[in-house]
Structure 1
């Protein structure tokens, strides 16, 4: 089992933030939920395209454990479950927007290639945050 080399309480705050937002899929889930507001699991899976069910399920569990995503289950037949960002999750959207803007400029400058993500709607996500 992995053991940290540095005690958690003396780690850099950036490391703590990256532990919550880092990884290949967490930021994507946050961006998709920010732009779409509320999605059922199957809709989220469709929006995410290349993610497996196991990875999406684990990603959602991690984000729920960190208070970024909420899960609403309805007692219906068939059962209905919806996912949305919490207030804490919405606070991450401007951070991801800033990272996306920086990254787009960096990639364009280095590679002279367009770097915009075809699946994320950063402007729509930002409108949701600014309207709250």
Structure 2
């Protein structure tokens, strides 16, 4: 995982929130897990589309460090690992849905090429 050279200088709650669920992949992972519940790594990667293994693993580590995603490892052969949202992670879902509703009012995308999880979102129904 990338190590910052300087300490994070977060001075307000908004900056903290954007650091936790901002970026290209974090909100998508949260939405996929909110929709599906618990997923194994391979199913999560498949649901994400064109994410690389390195980026998915790194982003999951960041979300786990922030207490958004929980990783459950089972002592089985073959090994099984599952990911799900924590209560803190579930609490951010309505915020992301409101951002989608706001963005849907101002951004019209090509719905044919929309992400799978976006096609399930009801941002354009108001």
TM-score, scaled to structure 1:
0.80
Aligned pair count reads 116
* Structure 2 residue runs without a partner (length 5+): none
Structure 1 runs of 4+ off > 3 angstroms? 113-118
2:6 corresponds to: 3
1:63 corresponds to: 63
1:119 corresponds to: 116
* Structure 1 residue runs without a partner (length 5+): 124-132
CA distance in 2 between partners of 1:85 and 1:77 (Å): 25
Q: How far has the Cα of 1:12 moved from its partner?
A: 2.2
The answer to which structure has the higher helix fraction is 1
Flag the 1:7–1:59 CA change in 2: closer, same or farther, 3 A. closer
Native 8 Å contact 1:37 1:84 kept in 2: yes
Q: Which has the higher contact order (CA 8 A, sep 6+)?
A: 1
- Following superposition of structure 1 onto structure 2, how do residues 1-132 of structure 1 map, counting pairs within 5 Å? 2-3=5-6, 7-8=9-10, 11-108=11-108, 113-114=109-110, 117-120=114-117, 121-122=120-121
Q: How far has the Cα of 1:7 moved from its partner?
A: 4.3
Q: What RMSD over aligned residues (CA atoms) do the two structures have, in Å?
A: 1.9
